[in-house]
Chain A
Amino acid sequence: MKNRALSIKKLSVSFKMNGQYYKAVDNIDLDIMENEVFAIVGESGCGKSATAMSILRLHNENYTKIEGEINFGGKDLVSISEHGLNKIKGKEIGMIFQDPLSALNPLHRIGKQIEEMFVIHTNLNSLDRKNRALELLEDVGIPNPEIAYNSFPHELSGGMRQRIIIAIALSLSPSLLIADEPTTALDVTIQAQILDLMRDLKEKSKASVILITHDLGVVAEMADRVAVMYAGQIVELANVDEIFENPKHPYTKSLLSSIPRKSKSTNRLNTIFGSVPDLMNMPRDGCRFSSRIPWINEKEHEENPKLQEIEPNHFVRCSCYKNFHFQDSSIEKVKEKE
């Protein structure tokens, strides 16, 4: 049994709106193991970023409430002092963001932005800092490290900028890397390159990775385990093969079936209706998903669906997945083909 790199217990994240707190992440439990890639998937607004940002408490503290525990290296990141957390940020937990242009300071040269990590966390002198920065630039596949070192962010392409962000995140060899939609803002061809790079670097560094995405292709390629989130809750959690081969929760099924498949038998996508309700209008009692599958009979819904382990290491919220079917029968057709 591997050790836990990060252990999240009963985590809730609430945002203050009109003077009231609304939970965007509602009581989730997650264990990230050492050296694994753990993916969190779900539609826009389901709370993926809110979860990731809460690990390093990056939200605006005036408008955010974090409850629960986040255990990392024997410390609880929710209750640790600001000072204590600053020593972990960047050094032990690295972060990769979605938009590599806005994530870099437009007025600082690339070299300075990388070296800032060494300034904060090490005693390296300026020459060593520069050498390390150039090495890092080379490690992340920048063709001309010297030039990139002296460039400003706007002078580089999106793919190059994301490599810079990765270089910053990896500069102090953190044991955990959080990547929040690292490829979403990039061109398709660049996406593949960045994923390859991340996989290589991950192999070398043995870090654990929390990979947030709504691209199931990325999940299939990168992840060891997957958590599917819906409306601030985890609805299904399993190994990546299990999720793809044996999805249980209606939401997971619909996510999977909404990827266009090559199989010819179905030309209709099994999409579910609507989108994630916003925080102020989210149902807080009972099932949050039932309104999106109106063709399922009232009686078949559970009153308060709970996450349960239906097979070893495969967790699903609700038991009524047993009766679930899509509105049309095309999902069966897909199954038959497979």
Chain B
Amino acid sequence: MKSGNIYMDNCITTAPAPEVLVEMKTYLTDGFWFPASFISTGESTAEAVASFKQTVADSLNASPDELHFTSGGTLANNISIKGVTLSRAVRGRHVICSVVDYPDLLTNAAFLEKIGFEVSYLEPDAQGRVSPQQLKDAIRDDTVLFMTTIVNHVVGTIQPMREYRDVLRAAGHKIHFHADACQAYGKLPLDVKELDVDTLSVSAHKIHGPQGIGALYVKHGTKLEQIIHGVKRIDGLQPGGIGIALMAGFAKAVELTFADLEGGIRHLRGLSDYLLEQLEARIPEIELNGPRGEGRACHNINVSIAYIEGEAVTMMLDLNGITVATGSACASQGLKPSYVLLAMGKNHVQSHGSMKFTLSRYNTREEVDFVVEKLAEITAELRSRSPLYKSTHPEER
């Protein structure tokens, strides 16, 4: 195949499905009205919104009245974390999360510390997994919230949600359980009743829906302090307007993803297994970051390539029409290596040489072959320039 646009950075955002765009167009033209009573335009929108809500709620086994549209996953996380801690501050001011959580959770934790909460940060093992025992040990009488990222955004590690649930159930007092499911949504089955979470956030643009829309599941009976105030158009938790077309696009993306979730997962698992197998076969001295097989999400492969630096690799791949991500400090805005890899015990060199491939249903085996072929060429070229490689491989002078 020729050099074209191969996109393997789907954990950041995904291409909107063509069907999603068609669906959205209707609501950008004829059906743009906000929900209202007694007038036909508003009533038809209200019906449409109810059906979008039903679709998204069904994908999580939630009731539609437990599902709140928000302007994205980050907003959903904020509404939940700030909402629950503010409403329960009288009960206690202790929160638990882990050092490998998504920045949404960690920046909220930092904010909570600033306003007088105490936060316990759990540490991951070498695979990025945070043990339920650590959670058990961290729980105090004044713990009001445990929040976790179901699928790690860097290495794809799936956290032991059922074990967490059991620990929290046995805690002796109510601890709010919040899950950031943005990376997990559409990559593994999520049943809010089985997980027994109190709140859970998802995002549309990670599953080929539009950017700018997400949802927050809030279990019946959960009290969240209002953190955004304003006129109610669509939802009480996020006042103000939320795009109807975005909801339509979200619901369509959910329909497409969940029509055959298991088939989709199987496809991604097969493709990422093949990618890893090819990488390990074609590139010497490469190591997988995070767990192998079932312990990681089906769309994520993260490897460290020894002796070379990730920004250079990313740029060379980009010049070949391939988009991937790296954990190199040189490629980050803050010039810092990946905090997730460091927390897993990897060193700076492993982080600098780390490459993350996140696949979607639009990726093919042919694309994987092309990417691995190019990456093998680039690795050989950059290693030929690398003093680290030369000093450890004197025979290749």
Same complex origin of A and B: no
